[in-house]
Amino acid sequence: MLYINNWSIKMLKQKFPNYKVTSYCPSGSWQTSRYIQIHIDAYNDKNLHYEYRIDGKWEGRVELHFEGDWETKYGLLIDRLINNTQNSDELIWSEWNYGYRCQHSSKINTIEDLYQTMSYMIELFDSLIRSVTSEIPVFDEKVISCDRQLPLKDCTVDIFEKKYDDIARLHLTIPNYQRIYCWEENNVKCLLNDVFEHISSNNATPYRLGTIILHSHGGRYDIIDGQQRLVTLALLLAEVGIKTSLLEERFSSKRSIEYVRYNKYLIHEYVQRHLNIRDKVERLLSLLEFNVLVLQNTSIDLAYTFFSNHNSRGIALSDYDLLKAHHLRYIPSTFEQQSKHAAEVWNKMIEDGRKDTDSTTVPDYVRTLDTYIYRLRRWMRKKVCDDSADNYRIKREYEAAPVVEEIPPFGERFYFNEPIQGGTHFFSYVEQHINKYRSFSKTEEYTVLHCAMQGGSDQWYRDIIESVLFCYFLKFGAYYLSDALVVIMRILLQHRYISSRAIKSSIVQYAGDSELVLIIDQATSPTFFLAEARNIAKELSYPVRQDMTPIMRSMRMKASNIARKLEQNIVVESFKNLNR
């Protein structure tokens, strides 16, 4: 590796007299970092330069650097340069800590190596940069200031017809009860095509982009509905050099940030295919119109009501979107940091669920709140478990319970069947039970059962067995868990042995009718539950083998194998043969 010193810097300046050469070469012994930079005349910008650097980690190669706000300034230039050099085996393009770079593969060992490699890079890229720069339109940056307010009337809800130019000048914010920004590629392309087609025509008729709902308070406008459209349009404006206040909003969700990054790329590519869109921005701002429904200085409750009942274009609100919004409104507005923290934790829970699951599994929070606790709560109240989809049953189950206003709720039991307290208590309730589930899922009993019963009706039986066993685990932990599993399994699988057809709703109903959850709830120690469950199991009998279908016999074999694998853990001798 060629060492950087005053001599090597002097030689390089002599070699390239027409270029500005800067360096960092402190006197004294070996330093942790030294570099030589050669700046490009086409851009008067210190962040765009050729560089040779050595330090503890640097390999001593010549590189072309795009630093600072490189995406905004040089994103298009980088794309064009990559396209023009994609067949070169000597060049390596990559993102790094300080920006983007193109690295030459040759290692520098002598001053001649440095001359030759630097000359190659300069000759190649200077000409390319000049030719590409001539093709790239220069967008003058423009900032749309927040200088507009919608007129305040004497009613709670106002309706306006507003041009996009007026809306872009409002101080728009994204409240923490909003779901994440998550528009997919087809949504973005559909919006861009619709907008560009209209503004490219000679049609002076406004193009309506539907209704947005805003909550006005303190000079700001929280976006209740319309986030996906407004953020996407703000990204489009930013691509052509116009910045709005909405871009100052910071997403805490990693998934939102990924969507923003990818959609910025989509919009960038779109604008490059329609370069004349920059000349049509004024038409974009003046021809796009929205119906704007504004809640004027009203309570967060009303804002939430509108959020809950109005779906954005093409993306339905899930139970978990609505639950987050529902419980955030119970946190006093004076506790802003508490509200923000609760929203961030909830968003992370949803993101982790998407990241850690695939098409064959469900997120931990769904398995905890839906598969297990929803059923346990319904069984405890002798209510039917409605497993049908898209009816917001989970939202209704975990909404805040009514209270007497004079007497505040108190207590931190986090018992699965307790009334749901609105606000921070609910978020803690969810967190506690998900952590319990994660501990439960690491037990040998869970692993053996979960792996043994997969797919079809087997999975339905497995889920109700796990639900009841989870109820036991919540109360007694792992004490005598194998005993509890085999006796619960024997009781609940009786449904399989006496039913010619397995129907999910009837399986769930059978589990509720067994009252095992009530027995666990009333038991003060494992021994009382196990004793009562043993008495129930003793009353059950298997059908004659020749009367059992192959599916029934298969289920009995699986139950027997599960009990056999756990035999060393089973304390009650009679339980070892319950499923054989």
**Integer angstrom CA distances of residue 29 from 5, 20, 38, 242, 344:** 11, 27, 24, 49, 48
Three-class SS of 65-122: EEECCHHHHHHHHHHHHHHHHCCCCCEEEEEECCEEEEEECCCCCCHHHHHHHHHHHH
The pLDDT, as a whole number, for residue 306 is 56
Instruction: Determine the Cα–Cα distance for residues 555 and 561; give it in Å rounded to an integer.
Output: 10
Mean pLDDT across 417-440: 91
**Helices 227-239 and 254-273, interaxial angle, to 10°?**
50
Name which residue leads in pLDDT, 337 or 531: 531
End-to-end CA, the chain: 74
Q: How many CB atoms lie within 10 A of CB 137?
A: 14
Q: How confident is the model at residue 464 (pLDDT cuts 50, 70, 90)?
A: very high
| Contact between residue 244 and residue 144 where contact means Cβ atoms under 8 Å apart | yes
- Sole residue written with tokens 């407004």: 230
Could you report the per-residue pLDDT of 8-60, keeping only the tens digit for each?
888 888 888 888 888 888 765 555 568 899 988 656 678 889 999 886 566 68
Name which residue leads in pLDDT, 70 or 367: 367
How confident is the prediction for the chain on average, in pLDDT?
A: 84
Mean pLDDT across 70-89: 79
Q: How confident is the model at residue 446 (pLDDT cuts 50, 70, 90)?
A: very high
Residue 269: which residues within 8 A CB-CB, separation 6 or more?
none
Please, what are the domains in the chain?
Answer: 6-135 (3.30.1460), 142-317 (no CATH), 350-577 (no CATH)
The pLDDT, as a whole number, for residue 104 is 92
Top-ranked range on mean pLDDT: pick from 21-25, 65-69, 331-335, 432-436: 432-436
Which tokens belong to 550?
Answer: 């192959």
Partners of 292 in the beta sheet? 160, 212
Helix (H) / strand (E) element for 147: namely none
pLDDT-wise least confident of 115-129, 335-349, 362-376: 335-349
Q: How confident is the model at residue 314 (pLDDT cuts 50, 70, 90)?
A: very low
Which tokens belong to 473?
Answer: 């685990």
Judging by beta carbons within 10 Å of its beta carbon (0-12, 13-18, 19+), is residue 45 exposed, middle or buried?
Answer: middle
Name which residue leads in pLDDT, 480 or 315: 480
Mean pLDDT across 194-213: 82
Instruction: Determine the Cα–Cα distance for residues 365 and 358; give it in Å rounded to an integer.
Output: 14
Could you report the per-residue pLDDT of 223-273, keeping only the tens digit for each?
888 899 999 999 988 888 888 888 888 777 778 888 888 888 888 878 877
Could you report the per-residue pLDDT of 113-147, keeping only the tens digit for each?
999 999 999 999 988 887 766 655 555 567 787 77
pLDDT at 452 over 60: yes
Mean pLDDT across 406-428: 82
Name which residue leads in pLDDT, 277 or 326: 326
φ, ψ of residue 400 in degrees (nearest 5): -60, 135
The pLDDT, as a whole number, for residue 389 is 63
The pLDDT, as a whole number, for residue 507 is 93
Query: What is the layout of strands, in order, in the sheet containing 207-217?
Result: 157-163, 288-296, 207-217, 220-225, 172-173
Could you report the per-residue pLDDT of 90-102, keeping only the tens digit for each?
999 888 878 889 9
The pLDDT, as a whole number, for residue 577 is 86
